[in-house]
Amino acid sequence: MNGYGPLEVKVWGDFACFTRPEMKVERVSYPVMTPSAARGVLEAIFWKPEFRWLVREIRVLSQINYFSILRNEVNHRASVQTARRRIAGGGGYFAEEEQNRAQRNTLALRDVCYVIRADIQVRTHVEDHAAKFRDQFRRRVARGQCFYQPYLGCREFAAYFGQPISGDQPIGQSANLGRMLFDLEYSKDGKGRGLPRFFDARLQRGVLQVPVHLYAEGG
């Protein structure tokens, strides 16, 4: 620990979808923002290679409301190589003709609002003090600055952010959330896909605590 209390940022949006990985075809959201999604919001606001974010807790400020939508999606990701071949051949791409179009149902969240509490952990080789980065983060939040627009699980679900206010209180709901995605763990050589790590999540009076030992295990 660095001797400071966790940093806080309030995030909200009209829609959110923190997809449960066990759902292979349809998208179904966790009822609460996951730690990995919270880290993504923090990094969108402020990130430097000199430190990493440690999400400590997520406070749920609005009631959990689901809604269902049907979306057009494609079955395969676009690649640079395929795009170059099509340009060279003078052709275009039409999902229907390629039989690459699919309609999938999404069970998402509506009108969400959270307070993310997190610490900055300066990497061992860095001489700068954590207070430097903490102050930079606070200034960016106060000014509404970000490296790119944060989002709530899916890129089309934009997140807005600002400073928490004194009246922000978590909901009184408590529930076992089951196995929740903590984050993806990547090998240090930068190769391969990330290995998902999970933990037993519980919402206690509107607060999701992230176990401290998860960061120690991840290195």
**Region 189-209 average pLDDT:** 87
Give the pLDDT mean for 147-152: 96
What is the residue-averaged pLDDT of the chain? 88
DSSP per residue over the chain, as a string? --SSPPEEEEEEEEEE--B-TT-SSSEEB-SS--HHHHHHHHHHH---TTEEEEEEEEEE-S---EEEEEEEEESS---HHHHHHHHHHT----TTTTT-EEEEEEEEEEEEEEEEEEEEEE-TT--S-HHHHHHHHHHHHHHT--SS--EESEEEEE-EEE---TT----S--EEEEEEEEEEE--TT--SPPEEEEEEEEEETTEEEPPTHHHHHH-
Does residue 20 surpass a pLDDT of 70?
Answer: yes
The mean pLDDT value for 61-86 works out to 79
Pairing of strands 195-204, 207-209: antiparallel
119-135 pLDDT, tens digit each: 999 998 888 999 999 99
* 172-186 per-position pLDDT tens digit: 999 999 999 998 887
Residue 83 has pLDDT above 80, yes or no: no
Position 88 scores a pLDDT of 75
Inter-residue contact 109 to 9 (CB < 8 Å) = no
Please state, in angstroms and rounded to a whole number, the distance separating the CA atoms of residues 44 and 38. Answer: 10
In the prediction, which pLDDT does 35 show? 97
d(CA 92, CA 88): 10
Q: Would you say residue 203 has pLDDT above 80?
A: yes
What's the CA gap between 173 and 217, in Å, rounded? 29
